[in-house]
Structure 1
Amino acid sequence: MKILRRAAAYGVCRSATGDVLLTRGSDASAFPGVWSLPGGGIDQGEHPDDTVVREFTEETGLAVRITGVRTVLADLARLPDGSVEHTDRIIYDVEVTGGTLRHEADGTSDLAEWITSTEVAARPLLPFTAGVLGVTFDTAGLGDVPAGEPERTGRVQRFGAYALATDPAGRILLTRIAEGFPGAGLWHLAGGGTDFGETPEQALARELYEETSQKGRIIGLAGISHRYDPAALGPEGVPLDWHVIRVVYQVSVDEPVAAAVTEAAGGSTAEAAWFTREQARNLPLTELARDALVRTG
């Protein structure tokens, strides 16, 4: 059984009367006739913010601006060819700034419509769209789901979950990147790539414990970022077209313990530690850690 991974961005857009904008899958899509929030796959090297704006224009003719990040999801779907696809989905709230509503031609959608809240439940919806809009949907299982990760080629798109973690005293939890890994010696947010079939929240809890020995509670979303490095070197110096998409959560560690790495030797984390904000300010930080700290003051 073939396994696939993709990352995508979608937008919830409502009219002044509360209608929601949806698009219908065309014959060129995996699920023809099924309705979805406008959006689609994140191109290699593209920021998810740019994806949702681009996809809205392509599928609906409308220009939109982002007003917030609503949620981040992950799900599995069995495709018509029998393969199983894991999709990480970033869901934004957006509002229309211009353009004229029209249908997409020769794409993966064929209709774009404003739909009232009473009509939404009567449409066949992709499960993630139904969940975001609060519509009950069938949660039929996928049967046996293959283990492992999709085969990597020369182009890599990785989805990761990271923690901007603090304790009741206001200290910040950081990890130092081990030698032999990109950013060696810099202090970073705890977290890492999500596994096949794993939600971002599950990945975050796993990574937080493996890298720092902490158990935390997600209290909000701190932001979405990405890093594109087309010249990155993979194992044995093999070049990779590397693109990482990152969701940063605000995490409260209500009962902190001494920070210690529990993952197996040879991992990317050399050590973990708690710092005051003043101490963190003077550390050599990764751009992800620095930007997250700046955004939260």
Structure 2
Amino acid sequence: MRDAQRVAAYGVAVRQGSVLLTRASGRSSTPGLWCLPGGGVEHGEDPRDTVRREVAEETGLRVAVGMDPWVLSDVVDLPGEGTRLHTVRVVYPVTVIGGDVRDEEAGSTDHAEWTPLDQALTRDPMAPFTTRMVKRALAAQNNAGAARPIRNVAVGLVVRDGHVLAEEYPRIDGHHRFLRAIGGGIAFGERAADAVVREFHEELGVAVTHVRLLDVTENLFEIVGEPGHEVVHIFAVASPQLDALPLDGALPVRDADSFVGWHPIERVLADDPPLYPVGAARLAAALHDDTR
């Protein structure tokens, strides 16, 4: 047999106790096989871009891709093709940020669904690596009540001409459209001010030249049925690159299918749309008043 190697990337999405699964179509070499959404990494493609592309193609959903993947490996004989195939599978945690589940037409899958975790293992046949990931997700769900973490976050506010720069999230599962200040989680051993500088660079590719702590708030929320608890350091930040962004312009977020843009502070104060974390709109208004 001829040896061959393949790299594939997948997304594991869990919400409200269900996991997103797809079923291989008759066009696939494994028709009827249940699997996580995903597929082969194209030459020169970032695996996280593969996940975004494949999930959209197979399920109709848009996802934000996490940073800490699981890497699995398996070898199977394909006698019909005369190949012994070694597949390296990169599996990312993903969060759905838009779209509605639909089946793929004339593709490698023919069905996509949210399957309750306690029923997912009854889907037969299921790809062995998918079985492993479902078991991992089921164990995490069973332990969630005892070990749900509080997340420490650092975000930055950029204010200009009565506008605040923020990332926009679309309406999803009954949760209305909203904005979020730019930033993310604080790594262990990292200072909050350093975290916000890093996040602006990672998400937008821009340098921050000034950082000033405005407030520390708590953000208790629920989105797509999952509760969250954040302690948020909110900073005023300055960036010449962002100051050069036109008020009607938009900048893509590198690790998500979303954009940041300028939004009138008067409107976010009226929750049209709301700006999170809680207190960010008030602080943006105060920054605007200080610059008058």
**Is the TM-score greater than 0.5?**
no
User: So what's the TM-score if we normalise by structure 1?
Assistant: 0.44
Of Structure 1 and Structure 2, the greater helix share is in 2
User: So what's the TM-score if we normalise by structure 2?
Assistant: 0.44
Which structure would you say has the larger Rg?
2
